[in-house]
Structure 1
Amino acid sequence: MATPTPSTNTPQKHLAAFSSPAPRSLPGMINFDSPAALGLSLEGGVGMGISMSGMSGLGLSASAIGRADEEERRRRLESVIATLKTRPGRVSEEGIIGLCKKEGLEVVKEPQGKEEENRMKLILLIGNEGMCEIPMRNGEIENVNLELASDRSDISFGPTGSQILLRDLRPLPGMAKINLTLERFSHNLDKLLRMDKLSSQGASCFQAVFGIYTSLRKLFEHEKKIAVELLDAKIPYTSQRAEREVLCKKSGRPRMNAEDGIGLALEYWMDRRYLIPKYPQAKKSVSLKGKEKMDIDSDDTSNCYPEDQDPSTNKIYSMTIECESSQSAMYPPIRISDAWISENITKAADATDSNIDDMLMDRPSIDWLEPPQTYLPSAGPEEHDAMNLDTAPGRLPNIRFIAKFNPPLVVPLSVAVTIHQSLSNEIPNDSIRPTTFVGLALRPGEADPGVTGLDVESVQEIRNTRTVLAYDRDGKEEQHIHSNSLYVPKTEYARTIEVLPFSHPRQLIEILPTLRQYAFLTNLLVPLSPPLTSMKSNADALQLDITLSYAQPTPRLTMHLPHPSSSPPTSNLSSAASILDSIMGSADTDMKPPIGITVDIMTNADLMISDQNVVPARSALETKDVDVDMVKGAGEHDKLVQRLAKALDVCGELGVWGEWVRREIQRQDG
Structure 2
Amino acid sequence: MTTPTPGKTAASQQGRTPQPLAASPPVSTPFSLTGAQVFSPHGGPRSSPQQVRKSPANSTTLAGHASSGPLNFDSPTAAAAMGSLGMAGGLDMGLDGVGVGGLAGYGLGVLGGEDERLKRLDSVINILSHKKGYVSDEGLERLVQRIGFDCLWDTHTAPDGRKMKMLVVAGKALQLEISLDNNIVRNVAMSFPLSADAVKDRAARATAILLRDLELRPGQSPLTKKLDDFYANLERLGDLDKHSVIPGFDLQEALAGICASLERIHAYDLEKLRAEPEVAGKGERYVRNVATCHRHGYPVMHARDRVGLSVDYWIQRHCVPPADERLEKHIETSEGVWSLLITCAPMGDTIYSPVRISEDWISPRIEKEEPSAEDVLSTAAGPALDWLEPESTVLPPPEEEEGGNKGPVGVDGGIPGKYPEVIFKAILDPPVVLPQPLWLHMYELVGAQPPPPYSYPTFDSLFFPIPASDEAHDPSAPRTIEHAREVSVVPRAARDGGAAATTTTGARRHRNTLYVYKPVYGQVLSELPFSHPKQLIALLPSLRQYALLSTLLKRSFGDGSAEGEKEREGRGGAAGGTGTNMSTVPKARELKTFWSGRDADKPGLPGAEAMDVDAPAEEDEGVSSVDVTLTVHPAPRLQIVFPLRSSTANVGLEIGPSGRVRITSQNILPEGEVAGEKKGLTVEKLGRALEVLEDIDQWCEWIRTRVDGS
Q: What's the TM-score, normalizing by structure 2? A: 0.69
- 2:641 is matched with which residue? 560
In structure 1, what is the Cα distance between the partners aligned to 2:266 and 2:469? 40
Preserved CA contact (<8 Å) 2:478 2:515: yes
Whole-Å separation in 2 of the counterparts to 1:359 and 1:316: 24
Q: Does 1:241 align with 2:283?
A: no
Task: Give yes or no for the alignment of 1:438 onto 2:460.
Answer: yes
Residues 70 and 269 (structure 1), Cα distance of their counterparts in 2 relative to 1, 3 Å cut: same
2:211 paired with 1:166: yes
> Take 2:124 and 2:368, find their aligned partners in 1: how far apart are those partners?
61
What is the match of residue 376 of structure 2? 356
Matched residue, 2:626: 544
Hey, what's the Cα distance between the residues in 2 that align with 1:651 and 1:152?
43
**What's the CA shift for 1:80?**
2.9
2:350 paired with 1:322? no
User: Displacement, 1:402?
Assistant: 0.7
The answer to whether the aligner puts 1:96 opposite 2:140 as a matched pair is yes
Secondary structure of the corresponding residue to residue 357 of structure 2: coil
Which residue of structure 1 lines up, in the alignment, with residue 553 of structure 2? 525
Aligned equivalents of 2:414 and 2:483: distance in 1? 63
- Tell me the distance in 2 between the aligned counterparts of 1:394 and 1:235: 55
Alignment check: 8 A CA contact 1:435 1:495 kept: yes
Cα offset for 1:172? Answer: 7.1
2:176 paired with 1:132? yes
| Amino acid across the alignment from 1:467 | E
Give a deviation string over 1:540-598, Cα, whole Å, max 9, x none: 3221111110121x1001111112x3xxxxxxxxxxxxxxxxxxxxxxxxxx3311111
In the alignment, residue 488 of structure 1 is paired with which amino acid? Answer: V
Deviation at 1:158, TM superposition (A): 1.3
Match of 2:480 among 451, 461, 481: 461
Structure 2 residues without counterparts, runs of 5 or longer = 1-33, 44-64, 67-84, 98-111, 494-502, 563-579, 582-611
Classify the secondary structure of the residue corresponding to 1:356: helix
Kindly state the Cα deviation for residue 514 of structure 1 after the two structures are TM-superposed: 0.7
Aligned position for 1:654: 696
The alpha-carbon distance between structure 1 residues 115 and 394, as it changes in their structure 2 partners (threshold 3 A), is: closer
Aligned counterpart, 1:377:
396
Is the CA contact 2:464–2:561 (under 8 Å) kept in the aligned structure 1? no
Q: Are residue 142 (structure 1) and residue 186 (structure 2) matched?
A: yes
What letter matches 1:508 in structure 2? L
Provide the C-alpha distance between the structure 2 equivalents of 1:648 and 1:638, rounded to a whole number of angstroms. Answer: 16
The yes-or-no answer on 1:218 pairing with 2:264 is: yes
Would you say 1:262 and 2:307 are equivalent positions?
yes
Q: What's the CA shift for 1:128?
A: 1.3
Secondary structure (helix, strand or coil) at the match of 1:94 reads helix
Equivalent position amino acid for 1:105 in 2:
F
Say if 2:459 and 2:519, in contact at 8 Å, map to a contact too: no
Deviation of 1:422 after TM superposition, in Å, equals 1.3
In structure 1, the partner of 2:661 is 607
CA displacement, residues 441-495 of structure 1 (integer Å, 9 cap, x when unaligned): 233x85698xx56435411211121121114558752122111111124631111
Computed over aligned residues only, the root mean square deviation of the Cα atoms, in angstroms, reads 3.8
Give the letter for the 1:544 counterpart.
V
1:230 to partner: Cα distance = 2.2
Q: Could you tell me whether the CA contact under 8 Å between 1:118 and 1:138 is conserved in 2?
A: no
Q: 2:102 matched to which residue of 1?
A: none
Matched, 1:105 2:138: no
1:277 to 307, 322, 338: 322
Task: State the one-letter code of the partner of 1:127.
Answer: G
Where does residue 289 of structure 1 map in the other structure? none
Counterparts of 2:482 and 2:42, CA distance in 1: 61
Asked if structure 2 preserves the Cα contact closer than 8 Å seen for 1:328 and 1:398, the reply is no
Q: Which amino acid is 1:142 matched to? A: R
Structure 1: distance between partners of 2:360 and 2:530: 17
Aligned partner of residue 429 in structure 1, secondary structure: coil
Distance in 2 (alpha carbons) for counterparts of 1:270 and 1:434: 30
1:493 to 521, 531, 548: 521
1:84-126 residue CA offsets vs partner (Å, 9 max, x unmatched): 2452111122211121233332222222227995542433424
Q: Structure 1 residues 267, 600: closer, same or farther in 2, change over 3 A?
A: same
Please point out which of 504, 510, 527 is paired with 1:482: 510
Alpha carbons of 1:160 and 1:595: their partners in 2 closer, same or farther (altered >3 Å)? same
CA distance in 2, matches of 1:220, 1:191: 25
d(CA) in 1 for partners of 2:482 and 2:198?
53
Secondary structure of the residue that 2:395 maps to in structure 1? coil
* Aligned-residue offset at 1:351: 4.2
| Range with bigger deviation, 375-384 or 262-271 | 375-384
> CA contact under 8 A between 2:380 and 2:541: conserved in structure 1?
no
Letter of the structure 2 residue corresponding to residue 375 of structure 1: V
Q: Which residue of the partner structure matches residue 385 of structure 2?
A: 366
Displacement of 1:314 after TM fit? 3.0
1:72 CA displacement? 7.2
Offset, 1:176: 5.7
Is 1:183 aligned with 2:204? no
Contact 1:119/1:135 (CA < 8 Å) preserved in 2? no
- Residues 440 and 448, structure 1, Cα contact 8 Å, conserved in 2: no
Specify whether residues 447 and 458 from structure 1 end up closer, same or farther in structure 2 by C-alpha distance, changes over 3 A only: same
Aligned residue identity for 1:556: R
Whether contact under 8 Å (1:168, 1:185) holds in the other structure is yes
| Alpha-carbon distance in structure 2 between the residues aligned to 1:397 and 1:638 | 60
Alpha-carbon separation, structure 2, partners of 1:329 and 1:72: 36
Higher alpha-carbon deviation: 324-333 or 252-261: 324-333
- Contact residue 273 and residue 279 of structure 2 kept, 8 A: no
Relative to 1, partners in 2 of residues 1:231 and 1:65: Cα closer, same or farther, differing over 3 Å? farther
How many Å separate the matches in 1 of 2:349 and 2:254? 15
Higher alpha-carbon deviation: 632-641 or 110-119: 632-641
Distance 1:562 1:163 in 2: 53
Q: Distance in 1 between matches of 2:349 and 2:250?
A: 16
Q: Does 1:512 align with 2:540?
A: yes
Q: Deviation at 1:657?
A: 0.9
How many angstroms does 1:391 deviate by? 6.6
Amino acid at match of 1:477: T
The equivalent of 1:575 in structure 2 is none
- Deviation (angstroms), 1:308: 4.6
* SS of residue in 2 equivalent to 1:410: strand
Secondary structure of the structure 2 residue equivalent to 1:179: coil
Alpha-carbon separation, structure 2, partners of 1:415 and 1:123: 48
SS of 1:485's partner is strand
Task: Supply the distance in 2 between the matched residues of 1:641 and 1:406 (Cα, whole angstroms).
Answer: 34
- Give the letter aligned to residue 464 of structure 1: H
Deviations 1:37-94 (A, max 9, x none): xxxxx99xx9xxx988799985244454999699978974774355224521111222
The 8 Å contact of residues 514 and 629 in structure 2, kept in 1 or not, is answered as yes
Structure 1 pair 209/81, CA: closer, same or farther in 2 (3 Å)? Answer: closer
Which position in structure 2 is the counterpart of 1:286? Answer: none
Q: Distance in 1 between matches of 2:451 and 2:640?
A: 35
Distance 1:489 1:179 in 2: 50
CA–CA separation in structure 2 for the residues paired with 1:439 and 1:383: 59
**Aligned counterparts of 1:526 and 1:370: Cα–Cα separation in 2:** 41
What secondary structure, in the 3-state scheme, does the structure 1 residue paired with 2:442 have? helix
Name the stretch that deviates more: 512-521 or 638-647. 638-647
